[in-house]
Amino acid sequence: MAARAGTRAEAVVTDRGTEGDEDGEEQEQQEQNHGSNSSPRGFLPPEAGMPWLMDILPRLCHGEGMTTVAVIVSDGLEPFGLGVLAEVWGEGYHPEDENPVFDFRVCTERPGAVATEYGFEIVVRHDLASVADADVVAVAAKRDRRREEPAVSQVLREAHDRGAVIIASCSAVFTLGDAGLLDGRRSTTHWRYGAELQEAFPRTTVDTDVLYIDDGDVVTGAGSAAGIDANLHLMRRLHGSRTAATAARRIVVPPHRDGGQAQFIRTPLGLTECDTLGPLLAWAGERLHEPLPVERLAAQAHMSARTFARRFRDETGTTPLQWLTSQRVALAEELLENSDLSIEQIAHRVGFGNAATLRHHFAGSRGTSPQAYRRSFGCLDAS
């Protein structure tokens, strides 16, 4: 359970102020939607360099305070995923530590050349035996996410059984599923793979609206750059915010991002293919700024309200209200990206009536606030 803003928690985040009425609910919403579901659950710093207290949480150390991180790679390796792991964990020394912090190693089942998905190779010296003493075992993503590797699955199970933390992002989460490490857990992956992961491993509950999920001994991250978020979160959990903030500054990213994957999933404003309601949907799509109760829609379709509601669900798979809400949120996205209208103006333009209602529906659908979405995706310079 994430701690809400203003409640007493195990860690204290310093006050970062507010950004006015347009962003009044952003902090609470980001804590509810970022994706962590275990310590430090919801206590993530919002910006790089923002101090906070984390030293009361347990640390996972190896030897003289060092954490050994072993990364398992396979043929078809996605280089970006390995690069993320190397950038976050590969720097052994940090300015604030007298001793090395991380022992980073890359391992594979058969040492030697490992092919990447882009046609070049990397040379890996360590075999899977080098995973035996690792505190953190990371699995790098690969193109053939459904290719099972029994030796890798066995090593992952053994590492998990002896207490190592296992982390994987994007397509690598399928490898954890093959090892049985997703059973009975929430998990995430790239939003494109969510349905496939759920079908392949029905004993996990897949949530593709978050950037990562921390289940304590298993951490799963969403696609691509969300691997940075997941690994910085784990670093913060194991070594504290100062070490994680140092790593974040070095690779020029914030140690925490607002929202979840839903903000990156493009929901088209286009119309559903329908047998008889296509003209009505086009008509409604041009009038999203107007009140559109079911009675008005039914009259436009020349049906009774009851018949219209049944026909609408049969042809679109949703209710008129849900369809209107999704269309209004999608239009709000476009205006946030491509206009300098205020949040209040956008709310009226898309038919929500006020900024509070827009924030409510936008956060529920996209996992972030309108203002945070505009900061990430707006194409216009702030005035």
For residue 166, what pLDDT band results from cuts at 50, 70 and 90? very high
Q: Which residues are CB-neighbours of 234 under 8 A, at least 6 positions away?
A: 136, 165, 167, 214, 219
In the prediction, which pLDDT does 298 show?
94
- For the chain, give the percent of residues with pLDDT over 90: 52
Q: Per residue in 262-321, pLDDT tens?
A: 555 554 444 444 557 888 988 998 899 999 999 999 999 999 999 999 999 888 878 999
CATH code linked to domain 67-90+100-229: 3.40.50.880
| Same fold yes or no, 67-90+100-229 and 278-377 | no
From CA 166, how far away is CA 44, in angstroms rounded? 20
Task: Give the range with max mean pLDDT: 1-15, 252-266, 338-352.
Answer: 338-352
| Tokens of residue 357, six digits | 């209602």
From CA 82, how far away is CA 377, in angstroms rounded? 26
Stretch among 6-10, 44-48, 147-151 having the lowest mean pLDDT = 6-10
Encoded amino acid at 149, one letter = E
Mean predicted confidence (pLDDT) in 176-186: 97
Question: Could you tell me which residue, 174 or 209, shows the higher pLDDT?
Answer: 174
Give the homologous superfamily in CATH for domain 278-377: Homeodomain-like (1.10.10.60)
Mean predicted confidence (pLDDT) in 85-99: 77
In the prediction, which pLDDT does 382 show?
47
In the prediction, which pLDDT does 99 show?
61
Sign of CA dihedral 357, 362, 368, 371: negative
Indicate the domain borders of the chain: 67-90+100-229, 278-377
Encoded amino acid at 379, one letter = C
Tokens 């409604």: give the residue. 284
Q: Is 220's pLDDT higher than 60?
A: yes
- Contact, 83 vs 150, CB < 8 A? no
In the prediction, which pLDDT does 2 show?
30
For residue 261, what pLDDT band results from cuts at 50, 70 and 90? low
**Strand ranges in 193-333 using DSSP code E only, listed in sequence order:** 205-206, 212-214, 218-221
